[in-house]
Amino acid sequence: MKMTFRWYGEGNDSVSLSQIKQIPGVEGLVWALHDKAAGEVWPLDEILEVKKQADQYGFHLDVVESINVHEDIKLGLSSRDQYIENYKESLRNVAKIGAKVVCFNFMPVFDWTRTDLFKELEDGSTALFYEHEKVKNMNPDDLFKQTIGSGYSMPGWEPERLDVIKDSFEAYKSVSDEDLWANLEYFLGEVLPVAEEEGVKLAIHPDDPPWPVFDLPRIIVSEKAVERYLSISDSPSHCITLCSGSLGANPQNDIPKIIRRFSSRIAFAHIRNVRRYDNSDFIETSHRTQDGSVPIDDVVKAYHETGFTGYARPDHGRHLWNEDCRPGYGLYDRALGIMYLWGLWDAYELTKENEVK
């Protein structure tokens, strides 16, 4: 397991590279050009600038999260081909500095959905919270304004998208789940050959949460959906990002089982815990198994047992000790999460060694 840490870039993150360097076992940064809108080509000179910054601290840039997919591609519009060509060019450019994995998603309009960015937990920390009933009765515009009002740029919630959100919802009224699957297959048919040629693994992120939101289609939501997705191609570049928090919001998704079944196709592991409620609400918690509903101890065990050598990161964390940070991306809880994950991994290593003896 290769440990990484998400970083939003110089001047765009409350966390510095010198702080990340002090977290044991972190080898690389999960990065992106966050100022680029979906559909734009990522210029090589800007990519090289990020590499220059990472090199100063000895971090690799093997994992990109995310090169966002333009909405016209998801909608299957005639204009998609140019945006797909731009996507290919971005893949070629990130490959030039050694990128090995590109995480992406195929969620319409919203990349992820939460109703509260700083919901207080019983210990006084705060975390991202999803209130199911509130989403059912909420105006999408209001949710969008609330999220972009956090003071930090939020992937998938760029302020400029507010101007087109109504048009986007209108466009998706005629798009079914099967339409979205067909548009995804078309996209993959175009970009996978380029990814394979460049030695890059394209790793789709599950939908967050894994059910329809605002009546928009959602398709990467379950073990069955992962199976269908992976059956589209046997290319070595056709992979998944397994997010324990996204899929884990639905109690029907057995995350350790999914890992054990598809481990060889998991290029990137997002390890996150959530506490589920019977009414479909959920809140993000510490990574510790006992604090949430996802058995993180068994999640890590599944990766260890299957010989996982891919990339992992502590996904979202709580906001601790009055930290001023991007929602879900505080330094302290993600650093604590890494040490918990390493503790589990090391324990399984020791058990394995003792069994051999």
- Catalytic site residue from 207, 316, 325, 333: 316
Catalytic residue among 87, 130, 172, 329: 329
CA distance 334 to 330: 7
Residue 322's region, left for phi above 0, alpha for psi from -120 to 50, else beta, is left
- In the set 60, 270, 287, 319, the catalytic residue is 270
Active site (annotated) includes residue 270: yes
User: In the structure encoding, which two tokens stand for residue 341, read together?
Assistant: 């994950």
Considering all CA atoms of the chain, what is the largest pairwise distance in Å, rounded to the nearest integer?
64
pLDDT at 18: 97
Which pLDDT score, from 0 to 100, does residue 7 have? 96
What confidence tens digit (pLDDT) does each residue in 99-125 have? 999 999 999 988 888 989 999 999 999
The three-class DSSP label of residue 205 is: coil
Catalytic residue among 243, 298, 303, 319: 243
- The catalytic position among 60, 70, 205, 287 is 205
- 132 catalytic? Reply is no
Q: Where are the beta strands (DSSP E) in the chain?
A: 2-6, 26-31, 60-65, 101-104, 116-120, 126-130, 201-204, 238-243, 266-271, 274-276, 282-284, 311-314
**316 belongs to the catalytic site:** yes
Residue listed under structure tokens 């996978």: 192
Burial class (CB in 10 A: 0-12, 13-18, 19+), 309: exposed
Instruction: Give the domains, in start order, of the chain with CATH numbers.
Output: 2-356 (3.20.20.150)
How far are the Cα atoms of 46, 193, 196 from residue 42, in angstroms, in the given order? 7, 19, 19
pLDDT tens sequence across 59-88? 999 999 999 999 999 999 999 999 999 999
With a cut of 90, say whether residue 268 has pLDDT above it: yes
The one catalytic residue in 297, 315, 325, 333 is 315
Q: Is the pLDDT of residue 151 over 70?
A: no
What letter does residue 159 receive in the DSSP assignment? G
pLDDT above 90 covers a percentage of the chain that reads: 81
208 noted as active-site residue: no
* The model's pTM: 0.93
